[in-house]
Amino acid sequence: MIELKHLNKEYKTKKGTIYGVRDVNLSIRKGEIFGIVGYSGAGKSSLLRCINLLEKPTSGEVIVDGVNLTTLSKPQLRNARQKIGMIFQHFHLISSKTVFDNVAFALKAAEKSAEEIKKRVPELLQLVGLADKADQYPAQLSGGQKQRVAIARALANDPQVLLCDEPTSALDPMTTKSILALLRDINQSLGITIVLITHEMEVVKDLCDNVAIMQGGVVIEQGAVYDIFANPVQPLTREFIQHALDFKLPDPLWDKLDSGSKVVKILFRGHAAEQAIINQMLKVTNVQGNILHGKIEYIKDKPLGTFIMEVKGEQSEIDKALQFLVDQSCGVEVVNRD
């Protein structure tokens, strides 16, 4: 559906060239939800805006549904963009227009008839749960409602692709969940391919099928969301996941631990997350175990268990216990106090 090939975006400044995107290659399948994650300045917004050529790439190819957008004339590109909707962090609604007219704006830009607009706008507002807000103005809406209007506007011309630029970062947690649920419903009911950028792995975990991690304009790691959570390779990826799954132990707990013990983080992937592996480990080794923290997440309906555990005993027995876990396909990492 979307192919990015050797994509580069450079910005010329008085201080020299800034590289927003560096040799990015991505393949996004039709109908999937693809996340792009990175901290501020990582290049994720530049990359997203290159997909619909709001930012013209310095070099490389952007192929959407078999068409290389970088080769199109301006009129051809305008037509192609009608099939690529976009929503933004700060909604970009027109404050002087009603909800109805904000959604209608996209249809007027596509030169739809007044009759088509009159029929289409109520359908879109019904889809996003705002059928009763047509005559209100943006100032009368909550943040979540404003984003729903923006989503309705982005869907006005039946796009094949929906680009989402930090769509929930200005919203509170409960509203974020409702917007993510709406995007998931839109993806499933309409089959729209969604590309979403965020700095929150929690959003990726809840919504996306695949994810790319960006740093310094480069994609440093990519893959299925479950695989990235279960086996992160890059330090930045591990940092994002640690924040998302909240593994940090409080200082008072560290103070209570025996000086000779080891603290280990154990990752149970797939089938192993539902087995009594820790109990088995304690039976076959001469160690004592004390679970300090643990939970099982379900990512795309696959379990991923994470436990932090204090292990006490002779060093040889501790080594034997950790090797047992590794042999059971568990990820094992010794945790040190920061």
pLDDT in tens, 85-135: 999 888 899 999 999 999 999 999 888 999 999 999 999 999 999 999 999
Q: Among 91-95, 119-123, 222-226, 258-262, which is the least confidently predicted range?
A: 258-262
What is the structure's pLDDT at 261? 86
User: Percentage of residues in the chain with pLDDT exceeding 90?
Assistant: 66
What is the structure's pLDDT at 170? 83
Confidence of residue 194 (pLDDT cuts 50, 70, 90): very high
More confident position, 271 or 327: 327
- Mean pLDDT score, 287-314: 88
What is the structure's pLDDT at 52? 94
For the cut 80, the answer to whether the pLDDT of residue 6 exceeds it is yes
Rounded CA separation 112/335 (Å):
60
Q: Among 69-78, 162-171, 298-307, which is the least confidently predicted range?
A: 298-307
List the domains of the chain with CATH numbers.
2-225 (3.40.50.300), 246-334 (3.30.70.260)
CA dist 224 → 33, 52, 212, 269 (Å): 11, 24, 9, 14
Per-residue pLDDT reduced to its tens digit, 31-55:
999 999 999 989 999 999 999 999 9
More confident position, 329 or 292: 292
Confidence of residue 268 (pLDDT cuts 50, 70, 90): confident
Beta strands 193-198; 33-37: pairing state: parallel
Enter the tokens of residue 283. 């039976």
> Based on the number of CB atoms within 10 Å of its own CB, is 176 exposed (0-12), middle (13-18) or buried (19 or more)?
buried
Q: CA 225 from chain center: how many Å?
A: 9
For the cut 90, the answer to whether the pLDDT of residue 244 exceeds it is no
Per-residue pLDDT reduced to its tens digit, 161-184:
999 999 998 889 999 999 999 999
What is the structure's pLDDT at 293? 86
Beta strands in the chain (DSSP E): 2-13, 16-28, 33-37, 59-64, 67-68, 84-87, 161-165, 193-198, 210-215, 218-224, 262-269, 288-299, 302-312, 331-334
Q: 203: part of which helix (H) or strand (E)?
A: helix 201-207
What is the structure's pLDDT at 116? 94
- The structure tokens 């952007």 sit at 62
Q: CA 76 from chain center: how many Å?
A: 30
